[in-house]
Structure 1
Amino acid sequence: MTTTTDGAAVLAGMVVAITGGARGIGRATAEACLKAGAAVAIGDIDVELVAKTAAELGADPEARVIGLPLNVTDKASFAGFLDAVEQELGPLDVLVNNAGIMPTGLFADEDPAMTERIIDINLWGVIHGSRLATERFVPRGTGQIINIASLAGTQGFPGLATYCATKHAVVGFSSALHLELKEHGVRVSVILPGIVRTELSAGANMPGWAGPLSTVDPEDVANAIVKAISTDKPLVTVPRRLAAIIKSAQLLPYRAQLVVAKFTGATTAYTQPDPEVREIYHRRLRGE
């Protein structure tokens, strides 16, 4: 269990709700929060998997965890999810808006229906959750919203145009909301992971040497989220060195940025990924 210097669990007594919690970053975050002493609710559109994941995470008799169905694009579903969380676990302390999808391919080839789906899940899901959490937190004068963005929220990656658009929006939205809610005692943080070793980003075509600079495990992101809870840091990069890399890249002239992007593989990571690996993920998105 994650503890403070005096031996107390750092999240003891807190209630944390996590969207997209059945797999990947969401599941890892749920596990990390449980180890830190929190009661955890995971929500996911995959009803069977979220129930299975909650059962696995709850194998420890001391773990307080529930798994609930959740469609983040549906405001009524999201409201029902948070109502159920508070009914079963108590007043919500932290909402982690983690649910997201990342289909790859050139924008010119992207089905308009998929464009809308990416925006609905990655952006509207965050907005719906943040609004509902704000309605609960402001009257209480406490609470924290943690929104999961991406390195793709700071620059453009070919093959991820719509995804980049949503993550840029999440970064800007979270930064503004942080300032709006700060005076009400409500904290807002945005997490910017690099490439996370999950199904969502599998198959990226990057030079072998570049991976260690920006690639992390979902557990790394989860640990950063636990650390961000109860702090007032508005933006957290995972790994931490990404912050310096991002700032350095933004200071370069445009032509130099292009050279760096090509050298690091950013221009080919998702325009020329492993097609078989990406198709596995795309088939799941299509429900096949």
Structure 2
Amino acid sequence: MLVNNAGVMPVGPFADEPETTTDLMIDVNVRGVLNGMHAAAPLMAAAGRGHIVNIASMAGVIPLPGMATYNTTKFAALGASLAARREYDGTGVTVSAILPAAVRTELSSGADLSVLPTVDPGQVAEQVLATLTTRAATVSSPAWVLPGWRLVQTLVPETVERLARQVIGHDQALALDPVGRKDYLDRLERHAGTSPAATRAAEAVRR
């Protein structure tokens, strides 16, 4: 079994996002998933059994202001999971994607979690283990969030949805408490300049 769990979530206005931050999210959230599957899936297929779980996000289904690149990477993680699942169908290898809402970890530090569906890391871990039995393609965490969102998309006109989003403050990613996120952001800033894409870009500039 492989669990691709690594992820980073800098947020803010898309126009203000440094290229190094974009590269870091793509390297960790997308390349990390692809590299992990690329290393494990062929070995599992050769053995005739195996299970891969990619931790995506409800941000891979629900677009949010202030999270354009993060949304992009999580849509990619979900798409990669579903495509690989079909590609390895019949080989004994299955691929599942877990889509957590706001997880109560450092990743969501600075956010007002009182207005969001939230989940503890232990609950996500339990859902990961459950896919060993269910082999479900996608599971949201909490479990009701993904079915609820699909119902909204089916039944609620965009004008009504827009009003609801304004009421619940769906743009809070643009106003996360910088003090509450300081330690997390400091660590991300240190790593942003060392991501492979950022290193290649710096070398290209030097040349």
How does the TM-score come out when normalised to structure 2? 0.87
Give the match's secondary structure for 2:139: strand
Q: Who is 1:128 aligned against? A: 35
Q: Who is 2:4 aligned against? A: 97
In 2, Cα distance between equivalents of 1:191 and 1:116: 23
Give the letter for the 1:248 counterpart: L
Q: Who is 2:17 aligned against? A: 110
Q: Equivalent of 2:162, from 258, 264, 279?
A: 258
Q: Equivalent of 1:232, from 119, 124, 135?
A: 135
- Offset at 1:260? 1.9
The alignment yields a C-alpha RMSD, in angstroms, of 1.4
Q: Equivalent of 1:191, from 94, 98, 108?
A: 98
In 2, Cα distance between equivalents of 1:205 and 1:105: 15
Q: Spell out, residue by residue over 1:35-89, the C-alpha distance to the aligned partner (whole angstroms, 9 max, x if none).
A: xxxxxxxxxxxxxxxxxxxxxxxxxxxxxxxxxxxxxxxxxxxxxxxxxxxxxxx
Give the letter for the 1:187 counterpart: T
**4+ runs deviating over 3 angstroms:** none
- Offset at 1:176? 1.3
- Offset at 1:216? 0.7
Q: Spell out, residue by residue over 1:223-262, the C-alpha distance to the aligned partner (whole angstroms, 9 max, x if none).
A: 1111112432110111111122211221222222212222
Give the letter for the 1:107 counterpart: F
The answer to whether the 8 A contact 1:196-1:216 is kept is: yes
* Larger RCO, structures 1/2 (Cα 8 Å, 6+ apart): 2
Give the match's secondary structure for 1:189: strand
Structure 1, unaligned runs of 5 or more: 1-93
Give the letter for the 1:219 counterpart: G
In 2, Cα distance between equivalents of 1:231 and 1:241: 17
Q: Aligned ranges for residues 158-169 of structure 1 at < 5 Å?
A: 158-169=65-76
- Offset at 1:280? 2.2
The answer to whether the 8 A contact 2:104-2:121 is kept is: yes
The answer to whether the 8 A contact 2:58-2:146 is kept is: no
Identical amino acids, percent of aligned pairs:
39
Give the match's secondary structure for 1:188: strand
Q: Who is 1:10 aligned against? A: none
Q: Spell out, residue by residue over 1:4-61, the C-alpha distance to the aligned partner (whole angstroms, 9 max, x if none).
A: xxxxxxxxxxxxxxxxxxxxxxxxxxxxxxxxxxxxxxxxxxxxxxxxxxxxxxxxxx
Structure 2, unaligned runs of 5 or more: 192-207
In 2, Cα distance between equivalents of 1:256 and 1:224: 32
Q: Aligned ranges for residues 1-288 of structure 1 at < 5 Å?
A: 94-205=1-112, 208=114, 210-211=115-116, 214-251=117-154, 252-268=156-172, 270-287=173-190
- Offset at 1:275? 1.7
Q: Who is 1:40 aligned against? A: none
In 2, Cα distance between equivalents of 1:115 and 1:225: 28
Q: Who is 2:200 aligned against? A: none
117-126 or 225-234: bigger deviation:
225-234
How does the TM-score come out when normalised to structure 1? 0.63
The answer to whether the 8 A contact 1:205-1:265 is kept is: no
Give the letter for the 1:239 counterpart: P
